[in-house]
Amino acid sequence: MIRFDCDYNESAHGAVLAAIAATAGEQHPGYGTDAHCARARDLIRSACDAPEAEVHFLVGGTQTNLTVIAAALRPWEGVIAPESGHIAAHETGAIEACGHKVLPLMHENGKLSAAAVAQAVEKARRDPNAEHIVQPALVYISQPTEYGALYSVSELAALHGACRAAGVRLFLDGARLGYALAADEGLTLADYARYCDVFTIGGTKLGCLFGEAVVITDKTLSPGFRNLTKQHGGLLAKGWLLGAQFETMFTDGLYLACGRAAVESARRIKAALAQKGLPLAFESPTNQLFVELTRAQSAALERDFALGHWDATGGETDVLRICTSWATTPQQTDALIAAIENL
Amino acid sequence: MIRFDCDYNESAHGAVLAAIAATAGEQHPGYGTDAHCARARDLIRSACDAPEAEVHFLVGGTQTNLTVIAAALRPWEGVIAPESGHIAAHETGAIEACGHKVLPLMHENGKLSAAAVAQAVEKARRDPNAEHIVQPALVYISQPTEYGALYSVSELAALHGACRAAGVRLFLDGARLGYALAADEGLTLADYARYCDVFTIGGTKLGCLFGEAVVITDKTLSPGFRNLTKQHGGLLAKGWLLGAQFETMFTDGLYLACGRAAVESARRIKAALAQKGLPLAFESPTNQLFVELTRAQSAALERDFALGHWDATGGETDVLRICTSWATTPQQTDALIAAIENL
Amino acid sequence: MIRFDCDYNESAHGAVLAAIAATAGEQHPGYGTDAHCARARDLIRSACDAPEAEVHFLVGGTQTNLTVIAAALRPWEGVIAPESGHIAAHETGAIEACGHKVLPLMHENGKLSAAAVAQAVEKARRDPNAEHIVQPALVYISQPTEYGALYSVSELAALHGACRAAGVRLFLDGARLGYALAADEGLTLADYARYCDVFTIGGTKLGCLFGEAVVITDKTLSPGFRNLTKQHGGLLAKGWLLGAQFETMFTDGLYLACGRAAVESARRIKAALAQKGLPLAFESPTNQLFVELTRAQSAALERDFALGHWDATGGETDVLRICTSWATTPQQTDALIAAIENL
Amino acid sequence: MIRFDCDYNESAHGAVLAAIAATAGEQHPGYGTDAHCARARDLIRSACDAPEAEVHFLVGGTQTNLTVIAAALRPWEGVIAPESGHIAAHETGAIEACGHKVLPLMHENGKLSAAAVAQAVEKARRDPNAEHIVQPALVYISQPTEYGALYSVSELAALHGACRAAGVRLFLDGARLGYALAADEGLTLADYARYCDVFTIGGTKLGCLFGEAVVITDKTLSPGFRNLTKQHGGLLAKGWLLGAQFETMFTDGLYLACGRAAVESARRIKAALAQKGLPLAFESPTNQLFVELTRAQSAALERDFALGHWDATGGETDVLRICTSWATTPQQTDALIAAIENL
């Protein structure tokens, strides 16, 4: 059984494992105040061309999302998110457990439009009973989205502009950001730093054992951020484990290389699907493919490959998710392509 | 600079690092549903002589405490803890952020007495305005305590009895449980499973990179426990990292061996302090020593050793904490003893 | 200016004011433990043909909703509600501030269907990542809805059945229940007691100065309900004020009479609108009418009458809400009808 | 049975009942946006010599406390309070349910000293692990305290100074403020406005049916205050009921007169206790007296009078609370004095 069902099914890149192993015998102060974290912060600031940015390291994505959002909102405020957004759909109400409403918006392949955001904020602000309405103060987006889609530079710039005009902040969840960077070389880390008030660079799904880097460019989000992280159980005692991993990922372009491998594998699989005439449910340029298969076809593929079940179309077919990762080998890709050709 | 300031200053035991490195190339389902976790659960159940117990793995201590407490309480209920308890004093209000009051009780070296617990519950229950009072429903203790002290079997049994009689549950925080097991061979894991409704076996401070095992013997605590863990950001995507570590620690007695090394080192240092006539602020049989030093003495020691600053006595002396760990080498212990002798 | 914009624009029914004035000089124990509350509880149990039901009195609607929902849910659970539901749209995130997600469902004129509820619960339960999904445990509906619509007996029975089958509770918000009772004499208080696990009987909008009676028929909701009420600031010190009002409303059929007056007034206005050929945005049998008016028409009416602005149709017309109440006099109704005829 | 057990055992002053009755037939906009509230706000600002202050009206004390505190704190911050403070001891964890820790301090008769506050803040700020400690950002005091004691002008000024110096705000709970104003004519409403960032003027225990006025002098507390009030269910739909009551209380000195009547009654009772040689547990200049009685004496008194049970001394005597109120008549006072003389 070869796993193509998610991008966190494997351990970590060899360089990361080596970096962790190399911490054996080292002694460090706790909670991210060590030299590995300091170096990793500098490397990330440099990669983002954002020398003033603040960088924090947390263990996982849900933890990161809830901490950032708790830092950004006052109690009566909420966060706008696409209905499909991870915080809206797959975090067991983590944001609500912090007291905040997620305000769901319609989306296209997981993407919000600047116009929809502007309109939603305007509606809440102008309601005659505005004090009875949760007031949006933050917009949450993912890059790539849950559908594998990407915001273009101009779309991201437009969202940024709409948020500025409306007086709300923009938060980009980059749990899979490396795959976005690999898929669209027009959008750089510096763009994310320029257009977002806060964004994350995901390690869990991209070469690390675990870890998300939070990059804060709007410094009004900083006070109390570490206190909040501790309060929600996210301040790792041995913080240097996070530092050592990100230090490795941002040395010699490893983070981007991890993304490229997965996107290249996905492109090869996509070509095989097209050749076979198997329709995609929607276009995705990154490491996730959503293909419509008959029950017989999916059963045949799932004999040897673990795939994700995305949705039932309601008819004779289902949509399955094929997810490559930094760890997908050319041999694994070849094997899946061969299976597709044999369907 | 050799660190004796805390027991999470070092990476992980070599066997643990090797186990993690060995996950390279493996593929696993996420969130602790993998084979490593399954084996680790079995090993822990077996070590606790508690075949029916439920075992969960979380990353860190604050996270674990808040998740267990959120699972155990209804919104109007609170948790009794010693004033010095970690949840009362050093978690940035993590329990309150979950909506619950920590009800502080007087303690002796961090220990609660059965009588004090019984009286506190009785007082809250019998208050004429009981509905206006936070009702205790859980008792939180640590073994060893923040002062390095230990509950004896009979004390633990008495607390268990008091909790049963009062209709509240008993939760034991074992972030340093291995040091307790090593220091008092009368108390076994089976005792903790017998006397506690839920307890933890800490890995972060005992040989692991990170990780706390939660052992639930009162199955009414189980429903929703994983949902709560996810909601609070504690469900590690690559859960097998936790499984692989605890699997290693509970093979061939490694967990206990890690505890013993630290306690042995602490005993040697304690003997050196006694020989030198340096007074302990209070007696501790585990891996933490609290010694009263003049400013000159502490300055001399701190030139080469990192120590914890516990408390100012208000006079000419301070209380410093010397903390050994699973990673403390005989050479490091020798070096500290030599420095003590030279004071 | 005569107000038809809401049903809480006026003081209280004369009998209620008299009952409150009559408390002058009385002395009572606090927090609803007095004789007025005891009698009011008995009268309500009797009116509901529910001798075993538990009855609580709270001051306002949002407070009541959040307290009931906090009592019904564990932290990882959520409450299904129509998108238009008061808790989803107009309570400043009060439910989220208690830590719970409101799970919005599509509706028809504010009503949920049994099938939609069954499907939503089934989807959450069967999700392969069910632990990452907020699990519904309660269904919130209003009678009448925000659109003035009514569930029929069979619809309510079907919802009840769907909730039972799915293992979730049913909560009916009766902030305007008196208008429902007056509009559809087929549905009695006993029906609400039979089909709901908990429901409210609103006083604020129906003759009282303030006050909502909570009727709990599922006694598993009871433990801690008063503690929770106190915790959320809803336990009125002078609870007898609530008792005296509900005692009055449930003597000699006053509650129902209050509802009937408003519904009769609304029927007369509806007939005038029909005669004038003014279209209703949707049918409502209760005390709220939603009429489509041109800007000129609404401007003409709003010279002398306060109306609610419900929605812009986007074209030349707006939807305005005309809301009668227990306090609307025949003269006020006549005046509005005359103004409609003169449009 | 005559009640001297609390000061909320009776309805409302006749003038307040008349003012409420006079609202019959009036029509008002909701949620405190009406003319009664506007006038009441002006009267209070004027009485406080604080023309810029913001005034809000809420129904009850717990609600008011939790709303003010939620407005004042960020999630990682806590509120310092005397251990005996209402928020610490008698609100079912309402503050914790908003996510905040109450940081209890030692007190003298319910009073905090400026020095203790300064030291507590300093300790939290300077802790080497300050991010793991709940940071105080607000100080909560009551005037009079739960023990009936009063801060003097100089004590209040000192607390104000300590708070300023430490960068925390000062919140004074004036649920019984009228009794303080009556007991110590040196301290005026203008003093409270000068020395507090926010304070309340209680109506529930002083002549009103219910109601607390919140006076905010630190305008940085204002944004979102009404949203928060709504979120916690405290925004009364018929807000004019609060306005009409406070309008009445602040016309012709009624609020102060209500306080004076109770304090005068208490002084007469205190003299009778002294004459009889019955010891006070502690000195109180306001409407509450705490007297040490033997079991036989308390049993004798409680045949005809409801008293509060404050504390068991552990020996042969108990401390009972005698609480007069705005409604206590000279006849009731005479009756109690006669009973005391007959002990």
Q: pLDDT (tens digit, 9 = 90+) per residue, A247-280?
A: 999 999 999 999 999 999 999 999 999 999 999 9
Contact B226 C131 (CB under 8 A): yes
Q: Compute the distance between CA of residue C65 and CA of residue C94 in angstroms, rounded to an integer.
A: 9
- At B184, the pLDDT band (50, 70, 90 cuts) reads confident
The distance of A15 to chain B (nearest Cα, Å) reads: 11
Helix (H) or strand (E) holding C171: strand C169-173
Task: Sort out which chain D residues have CB atoms less than 8 A from A30's CB and list them.
Answer: none
Provide Rg for chain A, Cα atoms.
20
Contact predicate D240/D23, CB 8 Å: yes
D210 → chain C, closest CA residue: C238
Quick one: three-class SS letters along D240-301?
Answer: HHHHHHHHHHCCCCHHHHHHHHHHHHHHHHHHHHHHHCCCECCCCCCCEEEEEEEHHHHHHH
How many CB atoms are located within 10 Å of the residue A22 CB? 13
Residue B89 forms contact with D (CB below 8 Å): yes
Provide the residue type at D327 as one letter.
Answer: A
- Calculate mean pLDDT across residues D214-218: 98
Contact predicate A280/A290, CB 8 Å: yes
Task: Sort out which chain B residues have CB atoms less than 8 A from C239's CB and list them.
Answer: none
A12 → chain B, closest CA residue: B24
Contact C135 B75 (CB under 8 A): no
Mean pLDDT of chain D: 96
Q: Compute the distance between CA of residue A203 and CA of residue A200 in angstroms, rounded to an integer.
A: 9
Under 8 Å CB pairs connecting chains A and D tally to 41
- Calculate mean pLDDT across residues C294-300: 94
Question: Closest to A129 (Cβ–Cβ): which among C90, C128, C131?
Answer: C90
Contact B97 A66 (CB under 8 A): no
Residue A93 forms contact with B (CB below 8 Å): yes
Task: Sort out which chain C residues have CB atoms less than 8 A from D61's CB and list them.
Answer: 237
The distance of C55 to chain A (nearest Cα, Å) reads: 28
**Which residues lie across from B108 on neighbouring strands?**
B111
How many CB atoms are located within 10 Å of the residue A75 CB? 23
- Calculate mean pLDDT across residues A132-141: 98
What pLDDT was estimated at residue C315?
Answer: 77
Contact D135 A76 (CB under 8 A): no
Q: Compute the distance between CA of residue A4 and CA of residue A273 in angstroms, rounded to an integer.
A: 15
Written as one string, the DSSP assignment of B187-203 is S-HHHHHHH-SEEEEE-
Which of C153, C146, C81, C138 lies closest to C112 in space, CA to CA?
Answer: C81
- At D45, the pLDDT band (50, 70, 90 cuts) reads very high
D325 → chain C, closest CA residue: C27
Q: Is the pLDDT at B315 greater than 80, yes or no?
A: no
Task: Give per-residue burial for D11-33: e unless 16+ CB within 10 Å, then b.
Answer: bbbebbbebbbebeeebbbbbbe
- Calculate mean pLDDT across residues B272-300: 95
Contact predicate D290/D282, CB 8 Å: yes
Residue B227 forms contact with C (CB below 8 Å): yes
* Structure tokens that stand for D238 in this block: 């018929």
Question: Closest to C232 (Cβ–Cβ): which among D25, D232, D241?
Answer: D232
Question: Closest to C99 (Cβ–Cβ): which among A91, A96, A128?
Answer: A96
* Structure tokens that stand for B124 in this block: 């809250």
In degrees and rounded to multiples of 5, residue D318 shows phi and psi of -125, 160
**Residue B92 vs residues A88, C260, D135, D280: alpha-carbon distances, Å:** 27, 55, 8, 41
Contact A134 C96 (CB under 8 A): yes
pLDDT tens string C21-66: 999 989 999 999 999 999 999 999 999 999 999 999 999 999 999 9
Which of B205, B322, B215 lies closest to B258 in space, CA to CA?
Answer: B205
Question: Which residues between 26 and 85 in chain C have a beta carbon less than 8 angstroms from any beta carbon of chain B?
Answer: 31, 70, 74-77
Contact B76 D89 (CB under 8 A): no
Q: Which chains touch C (3 or more CB pairs under 8 A)?
A: A, B, D
Question: Closest to D133 (Cβ–Cβ): which among B76, B92, B129?
Answer: B92
C292 secondary structure, DSSP code = E
The distance of D110 to chain A (nearest Cα, Å) reads: 30
pLDDT tens string A175-218: 999 999 999 878 999 999 999 999 999 999 999 999 999 999 99
CA angle B194, B198, B201 (to 5 degrees): 90
Provide Rg for chain C, Cα atoms.
20
- Calculate mean pLDDT across residues C78-99: 97
Residue B91 forms contact with D (CB below 8 Å): yes
pLDDT tens string B22-38: 999 899 999 999 999 99
Contact predicate D215/D48, CB 8 Å: yes
Q: CA A90: distance to chain centroid?
A: 13
Q: Is the pLDDT at B258 greater than 70, yes or no?
A: yes
Q: Which chains touch D (3 or more CB pairs under 8 A)?
A: A, B, C
Q: Compute the distance between CA of residue B115 and CA of residue C77 in angstroms, rounded to an integer.
A: 37
Share of chain A above pLDDT 90, in %: 95
pLDDT tens string D142-178: 999 999 999 999 999 999 999 999 999 999 999 999 9
- At C160, the pLDDT band (50, 70, 90 cuts) reads very high
The distance of C17 to chain D (nearest Cα, Å) reads: 6
Which of D25, D41, D21 lies closest to D33 in space, CA to CA?
Answer: D41
Contact predicate C73/C79, CB 8 Å: yes
* Structure tokens that stand for B265 in this block: 């080192």
What pLDDT was estimated at residue B177?
Answer: 98
Contact predicate C133/A125, CB 8 Å: no
D21 → chain C, closest CA residue: C17
The distance of B228 to chain C (nearest Cα, Å) reads: 6
What pLDDT was estimated at residue A184?
Answer: 83
How many CB atoms are located within 10 Å of the residue A231 CB? 30
Q: CA D62: distance to chain centroid?
A: 10
In this structure, the strands spanning A77-82 and A135-142 are parallel
Contact D209 C29 (CB under 8 A): no
Question: Closest to D92 (Cβ–Cβ): which among B89, B104, B134?
Answer: B134
Question: Closest to D101 (Cβ–Cβ): which among B76, B96, B309?
Answer: B96
Between the two ends of chain D, the Cα-to-Cα distance in Å is 17
Helix (H) or strand (E) holding B123: helix B114-126
Task: Give per-residue burial for D232-269: e unless 16+ CB within 10 Å, then b.
Answer: bbbbbbbbbbbbbbbbbbbeeebbbbbbbbbbbbbbbb
pLDDT tens string D269-278: 999 999 999 9
**Residue D88 vs residues B84, C184, C210, D159, D227: alpha-carbon distances, Å:** 18, 49, 29, 19, 25
The distance of A196 to chain D (nearest Cα, Å) reads: 23
A102 → chain C, closest CA residue: C101
| Helices (H), ranges, chain C | 14-21, 35-47, 61-72, 86-89, 94-97, 114-126, 153-166, 177-183, 189-195, 225-231, 240-249, 254-275, 295-302, 330-341
A265 secondary structure, DSSP code = H
Contact predicate C259/C286, CB 8 Å: no
B79 → chain D, closest CA residue: D93
What pLDDT was estimated at residue D312?
Answer: 66
CA angle C140, B72, C56 (to 5 degrees): 40
Contact B10 A27 (CB under 8 A): yes
Q: Is the pLDDT at B282 greater than 70, yes or no?
A: yes
What pLDDT was estimated at residue D184?
Answer: 82
What pLDDT was estimated at residue C173?
Answer: 98
D227 → chain A, closest CA residue: A131
Task: Sort out which chain D residues have CB atoms less than 8 A from B91's CB and list them.
Answer: 132
Task: Give per-residue burial for C162-196: e unless 16+ CB within 10 Å, then b.
Answer: bbeebebbbbbbbbbbbbbbbbbeebebebbbbbb
Residue entry with tokens 């604020």: C204
* Structure tokens that stand for B288 in this block: 């933490």
- At C186, the pLDDT band (50, 70, 90 cuts) reads confident
Q: Is the pLDDT at D313 greater than 90, yes or no?
A: no
* Structure tokens that stand for D137 in this block: 């950002």
Question: Closest to D11 (Cβ–Cβ): which among C23, C64, C227?
Answer: C23
Contact A227 D131 (CB under 8 A): yes
Contact C309 A128 (CB under 8 A): yes
pLDDT tens string A272-299: 999 999 999 999 999 999 999 999 999 9
Q: Is the pLDDT at C316 greater than 90, yes or no?
A: no
Task: Sort out which chain B residues have CB atoms less than 8 A from A30's CB and list them.
Answer: 6, 8-9
The distance of D259 to chain B (nearest Cα, Å) reads: 26
- Calculate mean pLDDT across residues C180-205: 95
Task: Sort out which chain A residues have CB atoms less than 8 A from B26's CB and list them.
Answer: 10-11
- At A40, the pLDDT band (50, 70, 90 cuts) reads very high
Best mutation target, B69, B74, B228, to test chain C (most C CBs within 10 A): B74
Share of chain A above pLDDT 70, in %: 99
Question: Closest to B9 (Cβ–Cβ): which among A12, A27, A97?
Answer: A27
Written as one string, the DSSP assignment of B144-185 is S-TTS----HHHHHHHHHHHHHHT-EEEEE-TTHHHHHHH-T
Contact predicate C30/C239, CB 8 Å: yes
Q: Compute the distance between CA of residue C285 and CA of residue C32 in angstroms, rounded to an integer.
A: 35
Q: Is the pLDDT at D1 greater than 90, yes or no?
A: no
**Which residues lie across from A172 on neighbouring strands?**
A141, A199
Task: Sort out which chain B residues have CB atoms less than 8 A from C235's CB and list them.
Answer: 131
Task: Sort out which chain A residues have CB atoms less than 8 A from C309's CB and list them.
Answer: 128
Burial class of A9 by CB neighbour count within 10 A (0 to 12, 13 to 18, 19+): buried
Residue A275 forms contact with D (CB below 8 Å): no
Q: Compute the distance between CA of residue A29 and CA of residue C283 in angstroms, rounded to an integer.
A: 68
B225 → chain A, closest CA residue: A92
